[in-house]
Amino acid sequence: MLKTEEWLLIRDLYSQGFSISEISRRTGYARETVRKYLKKKTAPEPQKRPPKPSKLDPFKPYIQEKLKEGPYTAVRLYREIKEMGFDGGKTIVKDFVREVRPKQGVPAVLRYETKPGVQAQVDWAEMGTVEVDGKVKKLFCFNMILGYSRMRYVEFTLSIDTPTLIQCHLNAFEYFGGFTQEILYDNMKQVVIKRALKSSDSEWNPQFEDFFKCFGFIPRLCRPYRPQTKGKIENTVGFVKRDFFLGRRFTSLEDLNAQVHSWLEWVNSTVHGTTYQIPLERFKEEKLSPLDQVPPYKVVHKETRKVSRDCYISFLGNKYSVPYRFAGRTAELQILEGIFEVYVDYEKVCEHEILPGNCRVSRKKEHFQGLLSEILKENSKCKKDSQIPLKFSDPEVEKRSLDVYEIFSEGGFE
């Protein structure tokens, strides 16, 4: 097809009186071509070339279906199709996702950056429900991010009470190998009971206050209704939902946390979208307070359970035996560092190591010693009580007055 300029040239030569043969010689086009384009009243429209085949073509339907399910990140979709055999680059995946993803506007914010070792941010996220021990429970996600390096820590829990919050902090500190000078929170009741205008004047949750004073970090509270104050953690929560949790399969809480730890290894080793640096590399510049300068801090978490008739309690999908004399009673579990102690009426009756996975049983023989003999005794007693002896009735004898015998002795009734 001729370009617009070439079509105009042919028409101009023809208007000057040149013959078709002369125009053909001057332009190099065949006479049939010259005649064809002289008949056209409008400039020829350029034809679009068919797009070149792309390595991404076989995977585009999969990506589009996934984006219909939820707002998956381009990075996660790249990982998934790579496992399916895609050997192209990450850029074409990002470009395609950007092209097909629905466009949404976002409000502008002013980003606040912190120096190394100064601040971390913490938040909870609700992740739906799971079934544990035959009951439907809410699933929560604890998130902590270091403000300077953007190193992340994530943990899933079944509770958001204060002991759980403290234990998640301890696990995060262990993961990072230290803690920052201050940690930013929203106004969660596990941290603050009554907020004051000045953060340090607030009425803190007593249990959490004991914790942060022991470690010496300063809790900061973000301004009410200003989530952008802790934008780093807000972005982290959303990223965890889209890049890790969405569509995830897991068999237990332990399995889910094992999966998220593997994901953390990847995400903390990947270039961050804001700093354009790898968090693990920036982490080398963090100046965290070391853990060895703080005495060991123990968190006891308490839960109640009903002891079943077969002398077991359920905890996180597994069964644990209890001495048989407490069958049917209500017990308190005190959970601490991988074990839990069982109390009935303030008496410690046993303890167990927490089993990984689910559908497992921890049975201690001593919990059932003497149970069989008691059952046999009880059965024997029931059998004995059920055997009621038979009684034979004496023949009925007519009862007479003694006066009758007096009459017989005197020869009466002749």
What's the mean pLDDT in 292-300?
88
The rounded distance, in Å, linking the Cα atoms of 179 and 154 is: 15
Cα–Cα distance for residue pair 319/309, rounded to 1 Å: 13
pLDDT tens by residue, 356-410: 888 899 999 999 998 888 877 776 666 655 555 555 455 555 555 556 555 555 5
pLDDT digits (tens, 9 = 90+) for 168-203: 999 999 999 999 999 999 889 999 998 877 766 789
- The pLDDT mean for the chain works out to 84
User: Hey, what amino acid is at 55?
Assistant: K
| β-pair type (203-204, 192-194) | antiparallel
Residue 342 to residue 352: CA distance in whole angstroms: 8
Q: Is the pLDDT of residue 284 over 60?
A: yes
Contact (CB, 8 A) for 158 and 170: no
What is d(CA 104, CA 93) in angstroms, rounded to the nearest whole number?
19
**pLDDT greater than 50 at residue 414:** no
Say yes or no to pLDDT of 116 above 90.
yes
- d(CA 317, CA 251) in angstroms, rounded, equals 10
Output the CA–CA distances (angstroms, integers) from residue 217 to 77, 184, 231, in the order listed.
39, 11, 21
Q: φ and ψ at 350, to 5 degrees?
A: -175, 175
Joined tokens for residue 89:
């680059």
Listed ranges 30-34, 45-49, 221-225, 406-410; the one with the highest mean pLDDT? 30-34
Closest by CA to 288, choosing from 185, 169, 182, 142, is 182
Distance CA 331, CA 350 (A): 11
pLDDT value at position 352? 96
pLDDT band at 413 (very low <50, low <70, confident <90, very high): very low
pLDDT confidence band for 139 (50 / 70 / 90): very high
pLDDT recorded at residue 286 = 93
C-alpha 124: how far from chain center: 10
Angle at 59 between CA 271 and CA 251, to 5 degrees: 70
Closest listed residue to residue 367, CA positions, set 312, 314, 304, 308: 312
SS (H, E, C) the chain: CCCHHHHHHHHHHHHCCCCHHHHHHHHCCCHHHHHHHHHCCCCCCCCCCCCCCCCCHHHHHHHHHHHHHCCCCHHHHHHHHHHCCCCCCHHHHHHHHHHHCCCCCCCCCCCCCCCCCCEEEEEEEEEEEEEECCEEEEEEEEEEEECCCCCEEEEEECCCCHHHHHHHHHHHHHHHCCECCEEEECCCCCCEEECCCCHHHCEECHHHHHHHHHHCCEEEECCCCCHHHHHHHHHHHHHHHHHHHCCCCCCCHHHHHHHHHHHHHHHCCCCCCCCCCCHHHHHCCCCCECHHHCCCCCCCEEEEEECCCCCEEEECCEEEECCHHHCCCEEEEEEECCEEEEEECCEEEEEEECCCCCCCEECCHHHHCCHHHHHHHHHHHHHHHHCCCCCCCCCCCCCCCHHHHHHHHCCCCC
Specify burial of residue 393 (Cβ count, 10 A radius: 0-12, 13-18, 19+): exposed
Q: Supply the pLDDT for residue 48.
A: 67
- Residue 22: is its pLDDT beyond 70? yes
Q: Which residues contact 108 (CB under 8 A, 6 or more apart)?
A: none
* pLDDT grade for 111, boundaries at 50, 70 and 90: low
How many whole angstroms separate alpha carbon 183 and alpha carbon 191?
11
What's the one-letter identity of residue 362?
A: S
Average pLDDT over residues 76-101: 91
Among 31, 23, 27, smallest CA distance to 3 is for 27
Q: Locate tokens 């559908």: which residue? A: 359
Calculate mean pLDDT across residues 144-151. Answer: 94
Q: How far apart are CA 274 and CA 270, in angstroms?
A: 12
What is the amino acid identity at position 118? V
**pLDDT of 166 strictly over 90:** yes
Task: Please state the pTM of the whole predicted model.
Answer: 0.60
**Cβ proximity of 153 and 176 under 8 Å:** yes
Model confidence at 228: pLDDT above 70: no
Whether the predicted pLDDT of 332 surpasses 90: yes
Asked if 138 and 163 count as a contact pair (C-beta separation under 8 A), the reply is no
Share of the chain above pLDDT 90, in %: 48
Owner of token pair 């002013």: 110
Q: Which pLDDT band, with edges at 50, 70 and 90, does 225 fall under?
A: very low
70 has a pLDDT exceeding 60: yes
Percent residues over pLDDT 70 in the chain? 83
Whether 65 has a pLDDT exceeding 50, the answer reads: yes
